Amino acid sequence: MVMTSTSGLASSDRASSSSPSGPCDIPLTEELQDNIEKFLTRLHHSSPKEGSYSTAREAALILRKIVAVCKWQTAKELIALIKREGRRITKTNPADSVFGNIVRRILKIIREEYVNYSTALTADGAVPSAEEPDVKESLHNMFVSGVGRSDDYNRRLPKLKDTTFKGTLLEAIGEFLSELETSGDNIAVQALEHIHSNEIILTIGKSRTVEAFLKHAAKKRKFHVIVAEAAPFFQGHIMAKSLAENTPPIPTTLITDSAIFAMMSRVNKVIIGTHTVMANGGLKAVNGSHTIALAAKHYSVPLIVCAAMFKLSPQYLGTSDQDAFNKFVTPEDVMNYAEGEVLSKVHLVNPVFDYVPPQLVTLFISNIGGNAPSYVYRLLTELYHPDDDDDNL
């Protein structure tokens, strides 16, 4: 069972009609509609071998276009519009949390810019106040506020000097896009703080972020990498080859997934990527990651997860039930159709993700620095607005 912090995805459908922001009837342009359809098809057919970065980028581009092209009047309308489209896309692909993250991120940007812009308006030309209101409910706020929050994002914001609200908004989204683009590099530059000489590092499958991270470290340090092949998609083979062909080359050993525990006793560090970081600091990562994490724990080997901020999701895994959380692909990779006779009598399962509980993770390295899994809750409050966490999306 997966749910956002206040309600499950299932209930979000029901709630959508009575969403407090109200129904939204701003139409999309045909071109946008087309873009979204294409994006949906691609998302639907995406193989588990592809990384989440391209999805994130594409989602951000589509949302930027919505902001730029559609005819909205107030921030409130825009928020409702983006939520509507966001809901439509997440519904078709509930296991892929990246898209939802991007939507929430953009919504947060809209809210932030709205507040900044209106403060700038009232101060008329003054520098927008750097202090951003802490909207998250807290014990502190419960005592000092006395009255509830009242901002409804419904004011029409006039032109301020040469810029419009839309202009500043697009600029902010542009900044977010470039943050997205540089996130991999920003993670990679931290590599030297984490990898020392002659280490033996274990990783599984292929993560774009981890690849860049290791290659960056290889410029200065000599270390050995063990790559688990990550059956049945075998991305580890590509990863291993890429590392070994790097300049300078990284000595790499490819192992089967079954040898992970055997090798772990000699490993200094485990560095893996992930598809999503859950709200409790747990991971939704490639199949086999849970085994790696357990083995690392067994030998007290630190487990480092390289994940850009856009992978942080406000979702929790409720119980150990993985059905809604996981994604299943054709079992052809597990056993090919040539095994006909046996195949018809056997139940084959080919899940894509593993859930890794937070107590098995030692450290997250994101584009803004290193954090313990116990601090993820805080990063989330910085990234997303509480009103977008729940069934409003």
Query: In the window 160-199, what residues touch another protein (CB under 8 A)?
Result: none
Helix segments in 124-152, DSSP class H? 139-144
Nearest approach, Cβ of residue 95 and another protein (Å)? 13
278 φ, ψ (degrees, to nearest 5):
-80, 170
CB of 365 to another protein, least distance (A): 19
- Residues 217-236 close enough to bind another protein by CB under 8 A: 224, 226, 229-232, 234
The CB-of-297 to another protein minimum distance in angstroms stands at: 9
In the bound complex, what is the minimum distance in angstroms from residue 25's beta carbon to another protein?
Answer: 29
Nearer to another protein, 41 or 265 (CB): 265
Looking at the DSSP assignment, which residues form a beta bridge with residue 163? 160
d(CA 374, CA 351): 27
Binding residues for another protein restricted to 135-154, rule: CB under 8 A: 136-140, 142-144, 146-147
What's the CA gap between 269 and 188, in Å, rounded?
16
When asked if residue 20 is in the footprint of another protein (CB under 8 A), the reply is no
Site mask for another protein (CB under 8 A), range 343-382, x = bound: --xxxxxxx--xx--x---------------xxxxx----
Q: Are 332 and 20 in contact (CB under 8 A)?
A: no
For residue 15, the surrounding DSSP H or E stretch is: helix 9-17
The least CB distance from residue 321 to another protein, in Å, is 6
Task: Give bridge partners of residue 272 from the DSSP assignment.
Answer: 305
Is residue 269 classed as helix, strand or coil in its secondary structure?
Answer: strand
- Please report the sign of the dihedral spanned by the C-alpha atoms of residue 55, residue 204, residue 231, residue 357: negative
Kind plus residue range of the DSSP H or E element containing 286: strand 283-286
Query: Token pair 């008329």 is at which residue?
Result: 124
| Among 275, 251, 229, CA closest to 99 | 275
Tell me the closest approach of the beta carbon of residue 274 to another protein, in angstroms: 14
- Which of 35, 350 has the CB closer to another protein? 350
Which one, 81 or 295, has the nearer CB to another protein? 295
Nearer to another protein, 186 or 326 (CB): 326
Residue 217 near residue 192, CB atoms below 8 Å: yes
Write the DSSP symbol of residue 39. H
Question: For residue 150, what are its two tokens?
Answer: 């009242």
Find all residues with CB under 8 Å of 347, minimum gap 6, and list them: none
Q: What are phi and psi of 273, to 5 degrees?
A: -100, 180
What is the distance between the alpha carbons of residues 88 and 91, in angstroms, rounded to a whole number? 5
| Nearer to another protein (CB atom), residue 161 or residue 347 | 347
Beta strand residue intervals within 193-258, DSSP E: 200-204, 224-228, 252-255
Report the residue number, 200 or 363, with the smaller CB distance to another protein.
200
From 4-12, 96-104, 173-181, 304-312, span contacting another protein (CB under 8 A): 4-12
Block residue for tokens 């747990």: 282
Interface region with another protein, contact rule CB under 8 A, candidates 19-27, 43-51, 66-74, 315-323? 315-323
Q: Which of 179, 280, 329, 370 binds another protein (CB under 8 A)?
A: 280
Q: List the x/- string, 244-273, binding to another protein by CB under 8 A.
A: xx---xxxxxxxxxxxxxxx-xx-------
Instruction: Please report whether residue 57 would count as binding another protein according to CB under 8 A.
Output: no
Write down the least CB distance from residue 24 to another protein, Å: 25
Q: Does 334 bind another protein (CB under 8 A)?
A: yes
User: Looking only at residues 58 through 97 of this chain, which bind another protein when binding is defined by CB under 8 A?
Assistant: none
Nearer Cβ to another protein (116/235)? 235
How many chain residues interact with another protein (CB under 8 A)? 87
Long-range contacts of 44-47 (CB under 8 A, 24+ apart): 44/92, 44/93, 46/96, 47/233, 47/329
Contact 230, 253 (CB under 8 A): no
Binding mask 102-131 for another protein (x = CB under 8 A): ------------------------------
- Which residue number, 51 or 282, has a Cβ lying nearer to another protein? 282
Please identify which residue in 45, 320, 337, 340 interacts with another protein, judged by CB under 8 A. Answer: 320
3-class DSSP state for residue 351? strand
Residues 200-219 that bind another protein (CB under 8 A): 200
* Least spacing, CB of residue 277 vs another protein, in Å: 13
Q: Is residue 342 involved in binding another protein (CB under 8 A)?
A: yes
